[in-house]
Chains A and B, each alone.
Chain A
Amino acid sequence: DAGVIQSPRHEVTEMGQEVTLRCKPISGHNSLFWYRQTMMRGLELLIYFNNNVPIDDSGMPEDRFSAKMPNASFSTLKIQPSEPRDSAVYFCASVFSGTSVDNEQFFGPGTRLTVL
């Protein structure tokens, strides 16, 4: 299996531009998570989906952020308009969610976003 795939790996953009991050979860996994990592705030959960349905988006910082999961094999995180404080590494992770708590979450390689 190829693991969780994220694109792009690096993104440099200017303030005000729209940014779209993409994620392909591991086949068979039914839960998908978007995290943001910064030095100041550590690893933050932004939003997660179960069976393509958003379950908890309380971590989304503001209306400029939106996420979609149109099908089981694809998700996007969009920032519009982007701001310099959005600069961070964005991780996507997936897991098969059953009744057990022991399933390991698999992380993608991350997208390093820099907003100038």
Chain B
Amino acid sequence: EVQLVESGGGVIRPGGSLRLSCAASGFIFDDYGMTWVRQGPGRGLEWVSSINWNGDSTHYADSVKGRFTISRDNAKNSLYLQMNSLRAEDTAFYHCARGTVGGSLGFDSWGQGTLVTVSS
């Protein structure tokens, strides 16, 4: 069974940094690209960033470009999102999902998400 478990969320002041992690199991991690998607309170889904299977290709939404960095450690079956210069509008549940850039197969597995609250 595919499992994706996010961690690292919390309350952080504007301008601060946070690192999210996603632990993957139940599938061959380095066979897949991975993605972060966020959902603000009462809002829709917003794509944040994607990374290919070996980490040498990354893509970002304009809203986070230059502030967030996606990475992965295939030896640890883990995906990461380093978030710097956080803003109030970054407040959201952050989900990791299995699926790659441009993939026609969609995001076929999702974690439960970790909540990031940016507030003074």
* Same complex origin of A and B: no
Question: What is the interface of chain A, defined by CB distance below 8 A to chain B?
Answer: none
Question: What is the interface of chain B, defined by CB distance below 8 A to chain A?
Answer: none
